[in-house]
Amino acid sequence: MEKEKTVSQTVKLEVIGCAEFSKYKDLVNFLNSANAKANAFTNYCIIERFLYHNKRDHIGLDKNAFERFLYATGREKYPNVSSNMISQCIRHSHKEFKTFKRVDNCSLPTIKEKTSCLFIHNRDYRIEKISDSGKRVVLYTTIGSKNSKEIRKIKIDCKLDTYQQDIIKRLLSDEYKQGQAKLIVTSDMKKVSSKEDGKENVPIIKLLITYSFTPSNYEPIEGRVAGVDLGLKTPAVVGFSDSWKRWFHPRSHIQAFRDKMEARKRDLKSNNKKKLHNREGRGRKHKVKFSEHYGNIVSNFVQTENHTIARAIEEFITENRTESLVLEDLRNFSGTNVKYLRDWTYRDLQEKIAHKSMQKGIKVYFAKPFYTSKKCSFCGHMNDKFTFSFRVKNKMPYLHCEGCNKKVDADYNASRNLANTPMDELLTYDQWSAGKHLKKKATKQEKQEKQEKQEKQEKQEKQEKVKSQKDKTVENA
Ligand SMILES: [Zn+2]
């Protein structure tokens, strides 16, 4: 029998509150101090390991006894830290010490973790329930130690969008298996108001839950690859490597919504100015509030819109029995394109498409969009004239290939190019989400050219030196 494959993924929830801490800031402080303790203990373990390694014979401890000794000191030194955390630190120190031993002439490593991170074992937390509105979830977890009086059980409140809600529901119904969780203090900030301190900026805390499941039976056509181009004319276009089928998402209502909101915001602003000048304050608060919440309204709209697009794409590619999916790696996007990608959260859309597809059992890859718009997907001709600025100037026309004289929709052409990207130019989803970049391999020819150039330069420099020396000797004479 074939072994069942399980897929594991993570969902990122934003923490909005914690019942045991009256102020959000206190939770941040608690996590930071727990992190500082963990770092200190890990560093202590590394030093102990070093001493033990050098004087093993004197001490007369065997390996297991030494590990037990580390654990016992940890519990004694940090009575408020959970046992899970102590073991985590010991494991961490072991890993660090191993790399230290491998490298010659290297000083003992010290851990300085900047982002505070608290690991929670999958047995140590429980998802309680989703609120009636479906926009919140409550979790119980244990942090701190059994032996101390400090907080042990805490109740965490998290925000949910429709997509995350779906995952949490599956976790609650045991369709998905819950794995380790992490509480992370991110570098992003948000504004929080309290009675004592007024408004202040605090870092956003995220709760990462890993979960695993077995994808349902899905039989793809071998070698069929779909490419998804997130485009200018339309938010998303899907094309196949071996088929003419395509799928478009109409942009019209997204743009219409955005235009409407922008117009309302502009109106209010100009109105406010006039009325303030005449010292009329009626309804001002309400108007300012709207302007503040404008961002929220748009981001909510984009979230649900992304969800719909992702679901439609997932349906389309499973219907056509796709084996794998290629998305664009849009990180480090710069220059003219930024104007068009602004506030439309492409990253969020990509994550949603990737997660939905992986849940079905489709492999997801990422490719750098190097020549996706210039290359003709039918004959492979490079249309160098067809640059981004050319597309913008001519209101994004069809690609008219100079090689085979075909006229293709530019976005559809790009999606086909993505689907036909060779394997060695692709990143897997895990590599992509871990922040890895694809290194472009230099070909043999390029390497040779580089060498020749260097040699030439060196020769020239030598000649110039000799010349200048000669000149000097002539002058001296
Ligand atoms: Zn062509």
**Tens of pLDDT, residue by residue, the chain (477 residues):** 445 677 788 888 888 888 777 788 888 888 888 888 888 999 999 998 888 888 776 767 788 888 999 999 988 888 777 788 888 889 989 988 888 888 777 788 888 877 788 888 888 788 888 887 777 777 777 666 666 656 667 788 888 877 788 888 888 888 889 888 888 888 888 887 777 767 788 888 999 999 988 877 788 888 899 999 876 567 788 999 888 888 887 665 666 777 777 787 777 767 665 555 555 555 556 655 665 666 677 777 777 888 888 888 998 999 889 999 999 887 655 444 443 444 456 777 888 899 889 888 899 999 887 777 788 888 888 888 877 777 777 766 688 888 888 888 888 888 999 999 888 888 888 888 777 776 555 555 666 777 777 788 888 888 887 777 777 766 666
Using CA atoms, how far apart are residues 463 and 455, in angstroms rounded to an integer?
12
Pairing relationship of beta strands 246-248 and 198-213 according to DSSP bridges = unpaired
In a domain? residue 468: no
Find tokens 């930071």 and name the residue: 32
User: Measured between alpha carbons, how far is 278 from 225 in angstroms, rounded to an integer?
Assistant: 63
Distance 420 CA to ligand 1 centre (A): 15
- Residue 385 forms beta bridges with which residues? none
Residues near ion ligand 1 (CB < 5 Å) are: 376, 378-379, 381, 401, 403-404
Angle at CA of residue 449, ends 445 and 455, nearest 5° = 145
Nearest to 364 by CA among 308, 410, 412, 313: 313
**If 0-12 CB within 10 Å is exposed, 13-18 middle and 19+ buried, where does residue 333 land?**
middle
Separation of CA 393 and ligand 1 centre (Å): 22
276 and 131, same structural domain? no
Q: What is the 377 CA–ligand 1 centroid distance (Å)? A: 7
Domain boundary among 433, 448, 471: 433
- Residues 207 and 259 placed together within one structural domain of the fold: no
Pair 209, 229 in one domain: no
Do residues 323 and 183 both lie within one domain? no
Distance (Å) from CA 439 to ligand 1 centroid: 28
Task: Using the mean position of ligand 1's atoms as its centre, give its distance from the Cα of residue 238 in Å.
Answer: 19
Same domain, 208 and 232: no
Is the domain of 148 the same as that of 245? Answer: no
Q: Are residues 99 and 145 in the same domain?
A: yes
CA of 222 to the centre of ligand 1 (A): 26
H or E element, residue 212: strand 198-213
Tell me, in angstroms, the distance from the centre of ligand 1 to residue 318's CA. Answer: 29
Domain assignment present for residue 427? The answer is yes
Alpha helix segments (H runs only) across 130-210: 162-172
Count CB atoms within 10 A of the CB of residue 340.
Answer: 13
Return d(Cα 4, Cα 6) in angstroms, integer.
6
CA distances from 417 to 225, 229, 329, 378 (A): 11, 9, 14, 9
Ligand 1 centre and the CA of 415: distance in Å? 15
> Quick check: is 11 in a domain?
yes
How far apart CA 44 and CA 38 sit, in angstroms, is: 10
Contact 120, 182 (CB under 8 A): yes
CA of 423 to the centre of ligand 1 (A): 22
Q: Is residue 120 part of a domain?
A: yes
What's the pLDDT at 125?
83
Cα 375 to averaged position of ligand 1 atoms, centre (Å): 8
Distance 226 CA to ligand 1 centre (A): 20
> 213 - beta bridge partners?
7
> In this structure, is residue 449 part of a structural domain?
no
List 137's β-bridge partners, or say none.
130, 158
Cα–ligand 1 centroid distance for 391 (angstroms): 17
Q: How many domains does the chain have?
A: 2
Residue 51 belongs to a domain: yes
Question: In which domain, by residue range, is 327 found?
Answer: 225-433
What is the whole-number distance in angstroms between the Cα of residue 335 and the centre of ligand 1? 27
Alpha carbon of 413 to ligand 1 centroid (Å) = 10
CA–centroid distance, 383 to ligand 1, in Å, is: 9
Distance between Cα 408 and ligand 1 center (Å): 9
Domain end residue (candidates: 191, 213, 235): 213
Ligand 1 centre to CA of 232 (Å) is: 21
Find the 403 Cα to ligand 1 centroid distance in Å: 5
Nearest to 321 by CA among 454, 225, 237: 225
Q: State the distance from the centre of ligand 1 to the C-alpha of 401, rounded, in angstroms.
A: 5
The helix-helix angle for 284-319 and 252-277 (nearest 10°) equals: 170
Q: How far apart are CA 208 and CA 184, in angstroms?
A: 8
Query: Does a structural domain hold residue 457?
Result: no
Distance 371 CA to ligand 1 centre (A): 14
pLDDT at 364: 93
Looking at the structure, tell me whether residues 293 and 255 fall in a common domain: yes
- If asked whether residues 175 and 231 sit together in one domain, one would say no
CATH of residue 292: 3.30.420
Distance 396 CA to ligand 1 centre (A): 18
Residue 421 is encoded by which pair of tokens? Answer: 């990207």
Cα 17 from Cα 291, distance rounded (Å): 25
* Co-location of 14 and 154 in the same domain: yes
378 C-alpha vs ligand 1 centroid, how far in Å?
5
What would the two tokens of residue 156 be?
Answer: 């965490």
Distance 129 CA to ligand 1 centre (A): 56
Tell me, yes or no, whether 198 and 246 share the same domain.
no
**CA 399 to ligand 1 centroid distance, Å:** 9
Question: Is 474 inside a domain boundary?
Answer: no
Q: Write down the residue that tokens 């380790």 correspond to.
A: 180
Residues 169 and 94 in one domain: yes
How many residues are there in the chain? 477
